[in-house]
A and B are shown apart, each in its own frame.
Chain A
């Protein structure tokens, strides 16, 4: 980090207060600052107020009170468009690209260089983008169609979009959550380039390893308040974890030995089409036994989701069989934590307790088949809230008011407590903080100890290594590698994920 003086501060958030519901401040008098040429990590639990704070900084939300200073001058943002004019931009977790556009078109979209009458000056725009590519060493083919590109590349497009708009202050929201280790490494190189050119980088993340590896300073939020501002080289992951959670966390989850002999799930020579009608699963066979955790690694979009959906009866099979032991109508009783929780897992207009019985409303506990037993539902919900530490601790809170992490906890709670021999889990801890992740991991292990067979799809390789009894890597709709978590590592899995390696035909 370069020497900083007070007047070189690029971002200053002063005494920010933001409340979404009366009596509870998502941001409670928060102060935050970042310098040019700094990578500043923003960490904290789910619902600690990180996203809210950054949404205020880039103009998505307006603070109830408090000030934003950009390069020392007070700024008022009514929309992200206002923010980008002053050089503040954000790369979201979910990319916002037009799939059918070329990379170049996506980059310049909304800010095109034009001739008279709004005719786009492609040549000039392209020249500008090429120069940006060169100076920050970002490699993308500008003429490719964006839709089919790997997430790592899509992310680069998002970064170029911001650079094209002359962003000096760039916020990245959990940028590594969906990247392979190799892609992550590349991203970090890019971030270092950006930092050296004097940009301000703000990194929202849950991964303490990354914080320590790449950031210069860290701001920790807990329950809407700042609990620490630290120089990265003067702290440790233990100290950070304590600041995040307010207590020290238990160490590593202890893995048990693999389960019994009874086969719960048997998938045989499976072929599945994706939504566009082309092959998503190209001949997959696998067996999961009781008490076993079967991990599936892979870059997103290589058929994992289609596989999970098919097993849960949400997608039609074009060839092959899926057999689940002891269940005739298996479509009914499989526990499923879906990858796309907003689309499938929750009804955001429902209360928390209503969400906790989604798909389970006919269970004896919750209804007599016709009439809901609201008292029992409420009791169940209170227990779950307590056990899973869901916030706010209010069964009647609307789901859309919960932070992403708490929504995820609710989905996990519902599915993990379901009476089912098979649990299909996609990205169980994406967006969860350390404490919640640890908790979910422990729950997964406990359920597997009870004899449940668990199919675990994740792009978080450390998670897979930690929990799985077996790991299969999917690439292009096939299983290209079956690995033993005891004898492999993230880099090796990464090579299978990108198709460099294969130990199958």
Chain B
């Protein structure tokens, strides 16, 4: 079994699932008395059919790449981080705080500082969950859920009491130097869409995750622990340290997702900016099977669904798109299993 056929088999499952769910969605649309072909045509021409729409898709995908990586990184260690939502919020706020506070710094300094702040913010937040698991054995799912609530309440308190611009739910703007430029300003493409320089950072994060997981001693230990914690113990790896590091890097990746909104789009921190990207990231990671490079196309696909749902919002209920998302996820999981059994291939 060579690599290429392996990739073809790996891609075949998701593609088949998408086709089936499109058919299922068509039935639903027909049932509420609309023409599915019209709806799909609009959905696709407004998303990948024009450059503004595609920019919107890519903007949404950028956040999902980060949260997808976050979930995938934790999965590698056998940990379930469902707190990307909170970690992203903390990361976004940390980056906004840097941008608001250090107004005189040039971009060469403030941008790396914002990146660092976003990463450390998310890493710290997930690190708490990791520490609790490593030290007391409390389950990371519970820890991260609870920390989501705390994160939301905490930033809400800080924004409302310290940074609020009256009559809004957001902070003042960050300094112009800390802005990650939009591609429409840079290149003239994607006119009017918020697609911005966070995207190359996201691609960089994919590469970084690949390198850490596959080429570093830490990554080797994370995978060992993820596959077989007993073998990790036998090999004298310190499981507590592995848990802490995996959660921290995972949270840091989610935190970086905050840049896309704060530094790339609105230029301020706003309550509720995460818009469930943290949760969708879990689905992204599952479908991409925790492969950091597969996360990119899968995120774009979810970007299409997310934004496509908005474009047809006036014609069909948004829930139809949500239902399709759910069906796709279920199908992909089932279909890949069937593929593996039937064709005796381990998909990547």
Question: Contact residues of A with B, CB < 8 Å?
Answer: 20-22, 313-314, 331-332, 336, 338, 343-350, 354, 357-359, 361-362, 367, 369-372, 374, 398
Contact = CB atoms under 8 A, between A and B. Distances in A.
A371 B235 contact: no
Interface stretch (B199-207, B215-223, B325-333): B215-223
Given A348-B228, A358-B224, A372 B216 contact: yes
B231 A346 contact: yes
B295 to A, nearest CB: 20
A347 B76 CA distance: 14
Contacts, number: 63
Given A362-B217, A372-B217, A374-B215, A347 B231 contact: yes
B342 interface: no
A350 B224 CA distance: 8
Given A22-B1, A398-B346, A371 B216 contact: yes
A358 B231 contact: yes
11 contacts: A21-B344, A336-B234, A338-B234, A343-B231, A344-B233, A345-B231, A349-B228, A350-B224, A358-B224, A359-B235, A370-B217
Contacts of B346: 398
Contacts of A350: 223-224, 227
Nearest to A414: B235
B230 interface: yes
A392 B217 CA distance: 26
Q: Could you tell me the dominant secondary structure of chain B's interface residues?
A: helix
Given A336-B234, A346-B231, A372-B215, 7 more contacts: A22-B1, A314-B233, A343-B228, A347-B227, A347-B231, A348-B227, A374-B215
Nearest to A64: B344
A359 B217 contact: no
Contacts of A331: 236
Contacts of A374: 215
A367 B234 contact: no
Interface of B: 1, 215-218, 220-221, 223-224, 227-228, 230-231, 233-237, 344, 346
A344 B234 contact: yes
Contacts of A362: 217
A183 B76 CA distance: 45
B167 to A, nearest CB: 51
A20 B345 CA distance: 10
Nearest to A367: B217
Contacts of A361: 217, 220-221, 235
Contacts of B1: 21-22
B217 A314 contact: no
B256 to A, nearest CB: 22
A349 B235 contact: no
A20 to B, nearest CB: 7
B326 to A, nearest CB: 29
A374 B220 CA distance: 11
B236 A347 contact: no
A331 B236 CA distance: 7
Which 4 A-B pairs give the minimum distances between C-beta atoms? A359-B235, A344-B234, A349-B227, A347-B228
A354 B223 CA distance: 11
Contacts of B230: 343-344
A331 B344 CA distance: 41
Q: Which of A345, A347, A361 is packed against the most chain B CB atoms within 10 Å?
A: A347
A372 B211 CA distance: 10
B76 to A, nearest CB: 11
Nearest to B218: A370
A20 B231 contact: no
Given A350-B227, A370-B217, A359 B236 contact: yes
A358 B233 CA distance: 11
B215 A358 contact: no
A359 B216 contact: no
Contact of B220 (A22, A372, A398): A372
Q: Which of B218, B223, B231, B237 is packed against the most chain A CB atoms within 10 Å?
A: B231
A331 B237 CA distance: 11
A359 B233 CA distance: 9
A367 B215 CA distance: 10
Contacts of B344: 20-21
A129 to B, nearest CB: 37
Contacts of B223: 347, 350
Contact of A371 (B215, B221, B234): B215
Nearest to B346: A398
B85 to A, nearest CB: 29
Contacts of B234: 314, 336, 338, 344-345, 358-359
A362 B218 CA distance: 10
A350 B233 CA distance: 16
A347 B217 contact: no
Nearest to A358: B235
Nearest to A368: B217
Nearest to B344: A20
B289 to A, nearest CB: 13
A52 to B, nearest CB: 14
B227 to A, nearest CB: 5
A349 B348 CA distance: 12
A412 to B, nearest CB: 15
Contacts of B224: 347, 350, 358
A21 B2 CA distance: 12
A347 B229 CA distance: 9
A362 B220 CA distance: 10
A343 B236 CA distance: 14
Nearest to A331: B236
A358 B221 CA distance: 9
A349 to B, nearest CB: 5
A97 to B, nearest CB: 22
A419 B220 CA distance: 21
B154 to A, nearest CB: 34
Contacts of B216: 370-372
A349 B1 CA distance: 17
Nearest to B231: A347
Nearest to A336: B234
Nearest to B1: A22
Contacts of A372: 215-217, 220
Contacts of B217: 361-362, 367, 369-372
A314 B231 CA distance: 11
Nearest to A401: B346
A332 B238 CA distance: 11
Contacts of A354: 220
A437 B302 CA distance: 55
Contacts of A347: 223-224, 227-228, 231
Nearest to B235: A359
Nearest to A346: B231
A341 B186 CA distance: 57
B216 to A, nearest CB: 6
A350 B76 CA distance: 13
A347 B235 CA distance: 11
A344 B215 contact: no
Contacts of B215: 371-372, 374
B284 to A, nearest CB: 22
A348 B234 CA distance: 14
Contacts of A343: 228, 230-231
A62 to B, nearest CB: 11
Q: Which of B1, B215, B227, B235 is packed against the most chain A CB atoms within 10 Å?
A: B235
A349 B75 CA distance: 14
Contacts of A371: 215-217
Contacts of A346: 228, 231
